Amino acid sequence: MFSLPALRPHSRFPLSFPSPHRFLPKPSLFSALSASLTLALDPDHRPLHYGPSLRRGRRPSPASPPSLGSGDGPLIDKASFGRVFDVAALRVPAEECAALENRLRGHLLNWPRVRNVARVSGDDVEPEFKRIMRDAEGDGGDRLRSLARRVDGVSDGEEVVAPSPVMYREKLAKDFNWRGFVRFRNLAKISRPKKKKKKRDGEREGIEAKERMEKNGFSFLEVVEDGGGDGEEEDDMRGLLGADFHVGRWRGPTRLLLLDERYANKGIDELPEAVKVVLLGDSRKSMPSIYELVQCHLTLFYNYWQMNELLEDLLPENMVVPTGFETVGHIAHLNLRDEHLPYKKLIAQVVLDKNKPKIQTVVNKIDAIQNDYRTMQLEVLAGNHSLVTTVVENGIRFQVDLATVYWNSRLATERQRVVSGFTSSDVVCDVFSGVGPIAISAAKKVKHVYANDLNPIAVEYLERNIVLNRLERKISVFNMEGRRFICAIFANQRPYPITQVVMNLPNDAAEFLDAFRGIFRKRPRENDCNLPKIHLYGFSKAQNPEYDFHQRINMALCETVADIEMHRVRLVAPGKWMLCATFTLPLTVALAKQTGH
């Protein structure tokens, strides 16, 4: 079962706790806890907000940035879940980014699922240009500076702050041969001065932005304010180096290192020392700083938010949020409360959206299991309507049709526990085998398995699963009523005497125990009686469930079983335990006079 932590969004304490229950109420306990922790952490008694939240971000303006999934499906207006956050970032050379990320880790945004490093679209330079820049800078920038001096008419003794864009252009024009010219396409604009088409530029940026966003699918980052530069010079160089070129900046590929949200819209003075050192340290050199502080808008879309965050926003204020579901293959199985029923399709859509592609179908149980075959009444709420699925449990594949057979993924561990007690010399009899999770798992280990179920469709799937797992020679299949099956299977001496019996029908299995009375009565010698070990499942709501279940076993066998091992499997409802009792069938029962069943 997946379980997602959930706190209501207006909870003041932003940490989340794993929920032990399927539904996390919005109880006063949590509010009290969150309030006290908030106060403890914040001496000004201001609520501490950290991390992205649907309640904190601004809604994006309709025009920009592009929304994701708008109008996708009639149930949920996904576009309405876009939220914009102000974030400051350091623009740094790409090559230094990893080292800086490590160095500044504690001062970075560190939001879940948002990378601290963002690419700057369009500023990745072609390797050819990189080489020229490296060559030019190879002597500590002397060649660049000397070139700049000549271009700017500055004598050799004077200090040059930055090589001018004109110089770069000349240098590039000289260095590129005709092939390089083709590869560095913006260079063509030297002879064709760039026309200022602001609108078209904007459109192009829009397209780039969209491309960037669709790559990661749930967030979008745009730089809204930065150091800028000399307008004319900048425009000139933009024509040469592309839209993202800015004068005085590092002219190689850059990355944005997103800073902790508290530094949004702050000046350099207000940044932590470690960040200041990065920003200002370089300005002492003669080159302009290659690091820049920029302000960005980070937009998070529907795809970003987690299931509980979306449901908290979608469901009425005081409603508990469903936080978990069971999975069976591609099917998510909800167990909704009555109060959720008016929102069942909405909830199912969110579950589907947030768990694709693993989950393809979302269902809700309509009724408690009541029928003989222990099948569930399910309603498909979202996704495709197929309830036939393949489950992999403990490495074994099972095909099941949830509409017609019993399956419970929560028993996987228990099934493994029981099978782990079997040895290669065992012969197992699974009286209520269903589609075979115990029988097939056991067959991989033991000498032989006799598997039975009353439900003919379960037996059909059992046979399919035996073939699927290539165990045809290890399992014999029966479609009989349980009591009759027990009598029949023990009536004759089989080539493999049964050593283990599994009875997993917790509601009624104990009542089938009388079938064991007298099973060896017709055996001529006591030595021929291989008394099987029985693993019997049952429920108990008693104060002492083990005692209660033991009593029921004694009554059913009309005998006191002295040596019995009890295992609590799980709580199926408040105060109701599922138990597994393991005991060896008493000889007195096996030889008893049958009681007319």
Nearer to ligand SAM, 349 or 540 (CB): 540
Upper half-sphere CA count for residue 224 (Cβ side, 13 Å): 16
Give the chain's length.
597
Asked if 441 is part of the footprint of ligand SAM (rule: CB under 6 A), the reply reads no
Please choose, out of 122-130, 204-212, 312-320, 453-461, the segment that lies near ligand SAM by the rule CB under 6 A.
453-461
Asked if 406 is part of the footprint of ligand SAM (rule: CB under 6 A), the reply reads yes
Q: Could you tell me which residues come within 8 angstroms of residue 129 by beta carbon, excluding any fewer than 6 positions away?
A: 172, 184
Host H or E run for residue 535: strand 533-540
Residue 449 Cα distances to 393, 501, 536, 590, angstroms: 19, 10, 17, 21
What would the two tokens of residue 560 be? 């006191």
CA distance 342 to 344: 6
What would the two tokens of residue 583 be? 């005991």
Please choose, out of 28-36, 72-80, 368-376, 580-588, the segment that lies near ligand SAM by the rule CB under 6 A.
368-376
Angle ∠(460,465,470) on CA atoms, nearest 5: 130
Q: Of 352, 354, 372, which Cα lies nearest the Cα of 364?
A: 352
Q: Of 307, 287, 251, 290, which Cα lies nearest the Cα of 124?
A: 251
Asked if 389 is part of the footprint of ligand SAM (rule: CB under 6 A), the reply reads no
Asked if 374 is part of the footprint of ligand SAM (rule: CB under 6 A), the reply reads yes
| Min CB(476)–ligand SAM separation in Å | 15
Angle ∠(234,236,242) on CA atoms, nearest 5: 80
Q: Confirm or deny that 153 is annotated as ligand binding.
A: no
Asked if 454 is part of the footprint of ligand SAM (rule: CB under 6 A), the reply reads yes
Asked if 450 is part of the footprint of ligand SAM (rule: CB under 6 A), the reply reads no
CA distance 471 to 469: 6
Asked if 372 is part of the footprint of ligand SAM (rule: CB under 6 A), the reply reads yes
Nearer to ligand SAM, 218 or 373 (CB): 373
Asked if 464 is part of the footprint of ligand SAM (rule: CB under 6 A), the reply reads no
Of these, 325, 422, 432, 583, which contacts ligand SAM (CB under 6 A)? 432
Greatest Cα pair distance in the chain: 120
Of these, 69, 82, 329, 437, which contacts ligand SAM (CB under 6 A)? 437
Range list of β-strands (E), 435-488: 448-452, 475-478
Nearer to ligand SAM, 275 or 391 (CB): 391
Host H or E run for residue 281: helix 273-281
Residue 9 Cα distances to 13, 15, 30, 49, 265, angstroms: 9, 11, 12, 11, 25
Q: Confirm or deny that 453 is annotated as ligand binding.
A: yes
Nearer to ligand SAM, 87 or 477 (CB): 477
Q: How many residues bind ligand SAM (CB under 6 A)?
A: 19
Please choose, out of 27-35, 71-79, 386-394, 452-460, the segment that lies near ligand SAM by the rule CB under 6 A.
452-460
Host H or E run for residue 251: none
Please choose, out of 71-79, 441-449, 450-458, 559-567, the segment that lies near ligand SAM by the rule CB under 6 A.
450-458
Q: Which residue is nearest to ligand SAM (CB)?
A: 434
Span 470-529, contacts to ligand SAM by CB under 6 A: 481-482, 504-505
Q: Confirm or deny that 454 is annotated as ligand binding.
A: yes
Annotated binding site for S-adenosyl-L-methionine, which residues?
415, 453-454, 481-482, 504
Give me the residues that bind ligand SAM (CB under 6 A), please: 372-374, 406-407, 411, 432-434, 437-438, 453-455, 458, 481-482, 504-505
Annotated binding site, which residues?
415, 453-454, 481-482, 504
